Structure 1
Amino acid sequence: MQLFYTPDIDASHPQYFLSEEESKHAIRVLRLETGSEVQLIDGRGGLYTAQIHDAHPKRTILKITSVNTEFEKRNHYLHLAVAPTKNIERLEWFLEKATEIGIDEVSLIITQRSERKEAKTERLNKIITAAIKQSLKAYHPILNEPVTLNQLLDKPFKGQKFIAHCEPGEKFNLKDENNPAGALFNIDRPGRGFCSG
């Protein structure tokens, strides 16, 4: 069954109009027809099953047949902060995998040692969108614009905060310290994880 990302869908409406881009993809590329069943995700936890009512390549009309507004709802909130890598493909890979395992928010940070001082969040959001469609995730992670580490740490956050590092000093395992039912804020770099001592 084909899956479409529809962030503006309203669960109270029995019909939905696919955007021109998605309509073209559904009808011309995937060759879906009237009566074909599709699934829709809104990025806020909603998973919808729908049937194509009018297979138009510019404005396909869908009839919603079932709605799950809390599809795979999690009992925690995971917010990661990561410095964009010099090789942008590593950051893209990280966002793809983080989305697939289930993350709620990503903040891009510019640090003292950052080799990359900017990141195109529009492109990175497209990678996140493709990852939620590929892995059937109903929650679209929030991607924040790059800020400095100090700016990020000054923002209010309810929950536990952890910094992953491999500098000398006392280490512990994250799994032993975090509260899985709460909010978790982790600062990390792709390819580097918590060090256990």
Structure 2
Amino acid sequence: MALPRFYCPEEMSAGNIVELPREAAHHAIRVLRLEPGAPLILFNGKGGEFQGVIERIGKNGSAALIEKYVDIERESPLEIRVAQAACASDKIDWIVQKGVELGVSNIQILTTKLSVIKLSGERAEKRVRHWQQVAVSACEQCGRNRVPQVAPLTSFSCWVGAQINERKHSTVNTSADLRFMLSPCAKKGLRDFSGSSPISSITLLVGPEGGFTPDEGAAAMAAGFVPLGLGPRIFRAETAALAAVSAIQALWGDY
């Protein structure tokens, strides 16, 4: 049986006693019913993981004794970034959770002209914090020791402008850095790119339920995004990104 894993954003080393974060302590003690001496794994998002045991349980907090560091990584050799247009909040939860499990390294939620939800200010910040916690929980479950970032919510136009600027000043070989925009009207699928030279990173742009407007599509292509189809069927917004990531991992990642 796999040992329970918890994210603990602290500096850790063998022999140290670390306080468990409130959420981790609650899950360990109230849900899993762990008792002092029970083994567990902690990771701080900087790589590798720490084996230890529950040292203390109390009303004022719980702690773990670190026994040893294990230098292990479960990251994909391919950097996959997903830029997902804002859709229903529960769908974004699903995309973040499953995207992390599939190996996505960065997630950016965008507001577009046809986005179903419109978030701004404190409400947007609260949702991003929630999505980041979803990413943490997914790492605890799937074994990843580096937590993907859920970037602050931004508008499609600002993000595309940044992509144009990044490509203009990048020293990375553009043939190793693919940019795809999912589109049901695209004439090319992943098979058309399977013979590409070694790929180091892929950015995947995914629209909302109603898709991108013609102006948004044109702006994305100006930033180097190539329209990409996923077969003859039209996917829901929450399915499209995950289907594409799975296929991309099979072609160039660690599947």
Could you say which TM-score interval applies, normalised by the shorter chain?
0.7 to 0.9
Match of 1:52 among 38, 51, 54: 54
Match of 2:203 among 175, 182, 185: 185
Q: 1:48 to 1:178 in 2, by over 3 A?
A: farther
Superposed, 1:27-42 pairs within 5 Å as 27-42=29-44
TM-score (norm 1): 0.82
Gaps of 5+ in 2: 208-237, 245-255
Q: 1:115 to 1:24 in 2, by over 3 A?
A: closer
In the TM superposition, residue 107 of structure 1 has moved relative to its aligned partner by 0.6
Superposed, 1:3-152 pairs within 5 Å as 3-11=5-13, 14-85=16-87, 87-118=88-119, 119=124, 120-152=127-159
Partner Cα separation in structure 2 for residue 109 and residue 26 of structure 1: 35
Partner Cα separation in structure 2 for residue 57 and residue 71 of structure 1: 34
In the TM superposition, residue 81 of structure 1 has moved relative to its aligned partner by 0.1
- Give 1:3's aligned amino acid: R
Q: 1:45 to 1:181 in 2, by over 3 A?
A: farther
TM-score (norm 2): 0.65
Gaps of 5+ in 1: none
In the TM superposition, residue 55 of structure 1 has moved relative to its aligned partner by 3.1
Q: Does the CA contact (< 8 Å) of 1:26 and 1:57 recur in 2?
A: no
Q: Does the CA contact (< 8 Å) of 1:39 and 1:48 recur in 2?
A: yes
In the TM superposition, residue 138 of structure 1 has moved relative to its aligned partner by 1.6
Partner of 2:182: 164
In the TM superposition, residue 178 of structure 1 has moved relative to its aligned partner by 6.0
Q: Does the CA contact (< 8 Å) of 1:48 and 1:64 recur in 2?
A: yes
Partner Cα separation in structure 1 for residue 140 and residue 197 of structure 2: 29
- Give 1:186's aligned amino acid: L
Structure with more of its chain in strand, by fraction: 1
SS in 1 for 2:115: coil
Q: Does the CA contact (< 8 Å) of 2:13 and 2:68 recur in 1?
A: no
In the TM superposition, residue 181 of structure 1 has moved relative to its aligned partner by 4.8
CA RMSD of aligned residues (A): 2.6
SS in 2 for 1:191: helix
Partner Cα separation in structure 1 for residue 27 and residue 12 of structure 2: 22
What's the % identity of the aligned pairs? 19
Partner deviation per Cα, 1:105-134 (whole Å, 9 max, x = no partner): 001111222222225112222222222222
Partner Cα separation in structure 1 for residue 22 and residue 112 of structure 2: 40
Q: 1:64 to 1:178 in 2, by over 3 A?
A: farther
SS in 2 for 1:96: helix
SS in 1 for 2:41: strand
SS in 2 for 1:113: coil
- Give 2:189's aligned amino acid: F
Q: 1:54 to 1:109 in 2, by over 3 A?
A: same
Number of aligned residue pairs: give it: 192
